[in-house]
Amino acid sequence: MSLSDGYRKLSLWLDTVPGSLDPGEPLAGDADADVAIAGAGYTGLWTAYYLARAEPGLRIAVCEREIAGFGASGRNGGWCSALFPASLGKLERMAGRDAAIAMYRAMQQTVDEVAAAVAADGIDCHWAKGGTVQLARSPAQLDRALEEVAEAREFGFGSADLRLLTAAEAGEIAAASGVLGGTFTPHCAAIHPARLARGLAEAVRRRGVAVYERTPVTQILPGQLVTPAGTVRARHVIRATEGYTPLLPGERRTVVPIYSLMIATEPLPDSAWSQIGLAGRPTFSDLRNLIIYGQRTHDGRFAFGGRGAPYHLGSAVQPSFDREPAVFTALRHTLADLFPVLGDVTVTHSWGGPIGVPRDWCASVGLDRATGVGWAGGYVGDGVATTNLAGRTLADLVLGHDSELTRLPWVGHRSPRWEAEPLRWLGVNAGLQVISWPVCAVQERFAQHPRCCYYHCVSSAPLAQLAEQRTLNPRVRGSSPWRRTRPDLGLYLFRWPRGARFGVMFAPRLLVSPDLVPRAAMADLATARFRPQSVPSRPQHLLRSDPTDGITQREAVPSSPRQPHCL
């Protein structure tokens, strides 16, 4: 198999991107530049793009181990969204309320900046700014929708930024099963990720940037990118290696590589799309704990992804980790559960790739003025638009421009380092298990059982109340004495689906932090009592519109007889 054929197998996107994937010229010997960048994903390429645009005479060199777009940039879900991995509340605690709001507004503007840049440079990345619909399909998810909107309102973001959807409205956009309500934001475009990455590489080459492919950087030093073929000397050197960063010397604990995996169907007939919806190509998700995401592609496929793959000891990154059959199977089941019309559809592609997760889940960008070494990353799977903001910010930092961008709170932020192994392995995988357990394990185990296709969480046990009052829901109980005095402890409650056994685990924050496990997940677990049963007895709720467009009303309705996989 040729190199080019091998690269095409990395994702649907690389398989369908026009043009050759034969690697370009590698570095051949030592070279001098003004700025040298390690990594030709979006981060490295946007940085080169804005530098070259601002100062056409600048000598810029990008060294890429494989080919441009080889990493997550050529494999992602294609959500060019305003999502930022750190919440408004967290940014407020880090840098104050105004800075938090400025960060989120900058992300929204970034989506439009990407649109303008690709239009200006003729990059056809199948841009469709249809927004994002997030569905709520259980009462717990409904609560999350309400919480998200309430937080947005608290920070002054109105219904033009994020709004609740009634069950009818949500179902009209995405006709999934069991929809109770949802949210909608206009700040997202669906794209073909590899077309963007490869198009950007061509655009920077046209502007005189040297992109050396098949050129691995073995060391990043002040003023030098060291490669086996030679050293690129430059006043500024930039690390843009995201999920692969731990492979660099001295960077093993900077981020952990977590794998996100995807599947894509064959192009679907119009008759199927008329049952699914997603007209205008809004990106699509629901509010379960373990993230899922999807888009209707330009050529009519459903591209659908999710987390759940394990973390590998020592932050290892290997091609074989891109493929996790159990996760692909779970994705298929979830997709068919959401849209039964897709039950028998052919899946033509399955793939995955590493994202970079910093210890505090806060992406960052910065430049050490003393050494000239810059970096950007830690996007936790929200990097398609964020890399553009990073590229513009790095360009300003390198050129010494004091701008609105260089004053954003993520600039110069230093995330703590991850723990040494094996603690890192234990902690990260425990966190992944905690998030995915209700979704994957219970579903996988009980989905086939006629009496166990349904489960949900209820708040009842005194222990659950204790947990909630203590530490598990920081948003609600952020100022409890327990959190102040014992922030290093977390409490998890499990009710096993069979019988009435409780598992109670005290986990040091060192291993599983509230940052790693979404708060909502912790709150769910704190109150989790799984009830496998064939006929649910609980009332369900759905959202109905309120004429004042305040918080939409919740209304109890009898539940449907079968709603598996509802968390």
Q: Which spans of this chain sit near ligand FAD (rule: CB under 6 A)?
A: 38-44, 63-66, 70-73, 75-79, 81, 216-217, 240-244, 248, 260, 262, 293, 305, 352-353, 355, 377, 379, 381-384, 387
Instruction: Pick between residue 302 and residue 530 the one whose CB is nearest to ligand FAD.
Output: 302
Around Cβ 151, how many Cβ atoms within 10 Å? Answer: 15
What is the closest distance, in whole angstroms, from the C-beta atom of residue 205 to ligand FAD in the complex? 16
What is the closest distance, in whole angstroms, from the C-beta atom of residue 558 to ligand FAD in the complex? 36
Instruction: Pick between residue 50 and residue 70 the one whose CB is nearest to ligand FAD.
Output: 70
Instruction: Pick between residue 23 and residue 78 the one whose CB is nearest to ligand FAD.
Output: 78
Angle subtended at Cα 412 by Cα 411 and Cα 416, rounded to the nearest 5 degrees: 120
Q: What are the tokens at 246?
A: 């731990």
Instruction: Pick between residue 351 and residue 446 the one whose CB is nearest to ligand FAD.
Output: 351
Q: Which residue is nearest to ligand FAD (CB)?
A: 383
Instruction: Pick between residue 355 and residue 517 the one whose CB is nearest to ligand FAD.
Output: 355
- Between the two ends of the chain, the Cα-to-Cα distance in Å is 42
HSE of 564 in the Cβ direction (CA atoms, 13 Å)? 23
Q: Which has the closest alpha carbon to 154: 470, 475, 419? A: 475
Instruction: Pick between residue 42 and residue 157 the one whose CB is nearest to ligand FAD.
Output: 42
Strands 60-63 and 31-38 come out as parallel
Around Cβ 270, how many Cβ atoms within 10 Å? Answer: 7
Q: Which has the closest alpha carbon to 565: 460, 452, 458, 430? A: 452
Cβ atoms of 476 and 468 within 8 Å: the answer is yes
Residue 525 pairs in a beta bridge with: none
What is the closest distance, in whole angstroms, from the C-beta atom of residue 305 to ligand FAD in the complex? 5
Q: Which has the closest alpha carbon to 104: 49, 158, 165? A: 158
Instruction: Give me the DSSP letters along 57-95.
Output: T--EEEE-SS-TT-SGGGTS--EEE---SS-HHHHHHHH
What is the closest distance, in whole angstroms, from the C-beta atom of residue 434 to ligand FAD in the complex? 21
Instruction: Pick between residue 190 and residue 453 the one whose CB is nearest to ligand FAD.
Output: 190
Residue 220 pairs in a beta bridge with: 225
Q: What are the tokens at 19?
A: 């043009």
What is the closest distance, in whole angstroms, from the C-beta atom of residue 194 to ligand FAD in the complex? 10
Instruction: Pick between residue 49 and residue 379 the one whose CB is nearest to ligand FAD.
Output: 379
User: Rounded to whole angstroms, how far apart are CA atoms 480 and 46?
Assistant: 44
What lies within 8 Å, CB to CB, of 250 at 6+ separation is: none
What is the closest distance, in whole angstroms, from the C-beta atom of residue 197 to ligand FAD in the complex? 7
Instruction: Pick between residue 362 and residue 528 the one whose CB is nearest to ligand FAD.
Output: 362
Instruction: Pick between residue 243 and residue 358 the one whose CB is nearest to ligand FAD.
Output: 243
SS3 176: coil
Strands 188-190 and 224-227 come out as unpaired
Instruction: Pick between residue 64 and residue 169 the one whose CB is nearest to ligand FAD.
Output: 64
What is the closest distance, in whole angstroms, from the C-beta atom of residue 408 to ligand FAD in the complex? 17
Cβ atoms of 72 and 353 within 8 Å: the answer is yes
What is the closest distance, in whole angstroms, from the C-beta atom of residue 423 to ligand FAD in the complex? 25
Any idea what DSSP says for residue 471? I
What is the closest distance, in whole angstroms, from the C-beta atom of residue 551 to ligand FAD in the complex? 28
What is the closest distance, in whole angstroms, from the C-beta atom of residue 514 to ligand FAD in the complex? 23
What is the closest distance, in whole angstroms, from the C-beta atom of residue 284 to ligand FAD in the complex? 11
Cβ atoms of 81 and 385 within 8 Å: the answer is yes
Q: What are the tokens at 479?
A: 């100022």
The 8 Å CB, 24+ separation contacts for 546-552 are: 549/159, 549/163, 551/146, 551/149, 551/150, 551/164, 552/164, 552/165, 552/166, 552/181
